[in-house]
């Protein structure tokens, strides 16, 4: 099958995973923020913990989410925040928070610091994958019996979090899905994609990262992934129709019973006729 030539109607009607369509990237961010808010409100009413796995990309949802929480006086004290990944230096230490690529700093500035002080997420409930303690997230998520929702985007090589593509000759379909939090090299395609808006300075881009694993992601009760850029048109088509393969990690999303991809119109568009 030539995935690139799959038309819009086929995706919406015959996709192997639920696909939601919105108009623009702004609608993507608004949808993510509202889904987050609604789940917290639902669980707060029952005095339950709310747990999320968060990406940095998409990014515009967090300021919107914080604004809604502050305006509607929604407490995030019972929220557990787990970030997908973080960049590492050549010694496999976190890059400093002063680095422009630091996910830890991004979340601090664009989410954690924006919530009203009385309603903030507790520091002890904020997690990032730790290169020195890669078993921590599996333990935390197991104790939660799976997070409520894992949010995410998809790289143009199909990666989810920094679960980069691997050759099926090196790892089986089943074994790839069982990979846990780990330290690894960043794929060249990822480096190119993430340097487009940084002047193409590949030599100054981190080579290493720590990522939550496929195992922990698929322990989630629900997966909600979002695509906002036209360069993700091919990604969408492969993710929803390609059989699960380590060569394109997002192809696994369809194997989760509660999984969806929300896309803007420019992503759904068929570019190759």
Q: pLDDT by residue (tens digit) across 66-89?
A: 999 999 999 999 999 999 999 999
How does pLDDT run across 94-132, given as a tens digit for each residue?
Answer: 999 999 999 999 999 999 999 999 999 999 999 999 999
What is d(CA 69, CA 73) in angstroms, rounded to the nearest whole number?
A: 5
The predicted model scores a pTM of 0.97
As a whole number of angstroms, the distance between CA 174 and CA 182 comes to 17
DSSP, collapsed to helix, strand or coil, labels residue 272 as coil
CA 159 – CA 154 distance, rounded (Å): 6
The full set of domain ranges for the chain reads 3-267
One DSSP character per residue, 222-253 reads -EEEEE-SGGGHHHHHHHHHSPPBTTBGGGGG
CATH fold, domain 3-267, is Rossmann fold (3.40.50)
């Amino acid at each position: 099958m030539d995935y690139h030539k799959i038309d819009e109607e086929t995706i919406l009607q015959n996709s192997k995973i639920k696909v939601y369509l919105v108009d623009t990237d702004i609608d993507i961010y608004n949808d993510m923020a509202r889904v987050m808010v609604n789940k917290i409100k639902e669980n707060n009413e029952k005095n339950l913990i709310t747990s999320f796995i968060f990406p940095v990309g998409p990014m515009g949802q967090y300021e919107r989410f914080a604004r809604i929480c502050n305006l509607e006086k929604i407490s995030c004290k019972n929220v557990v925040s787990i970030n997908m990944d973080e960049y590492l230096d050549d010694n496999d230490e976190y890059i400093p928070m002063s680095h422009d690529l630091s996910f830890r700093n991004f979340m601090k500035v664009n989410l954690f610091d924006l919530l009203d002080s009385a309603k903030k997420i507790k520091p002890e409930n904020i997690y990032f994958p730790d290169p020195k303690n890669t078993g921590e997230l599996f333990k935390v998520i197991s104790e939660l019996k799976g997070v409520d929702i894992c949010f995410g985007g998809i790289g143009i090589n199909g990666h989810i979090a920094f679960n980069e593509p691997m050759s099926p000759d090196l790892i089986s379909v089943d074994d790839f899905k069982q990979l846990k939090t780990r330290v690894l090299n960043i794929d060249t395609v990822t480096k190119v994609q993430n340097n487009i808006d940084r002047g193409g300075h590949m030599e100054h881009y981190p080579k290493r990262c720590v990522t939550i694993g496929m195992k922990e992601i698929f322990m989630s009760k629900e997966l909600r992934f979002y695509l906002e850029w036209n360069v993700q048109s091919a990604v969408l088509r492969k993710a929803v129709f390609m059989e699960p393969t380590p060569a394109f990690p997002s192809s696994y999303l369809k194997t989760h019973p509660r999984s969806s991809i929300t896309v803007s119109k420019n992503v759904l568009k068929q570019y190759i006729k």
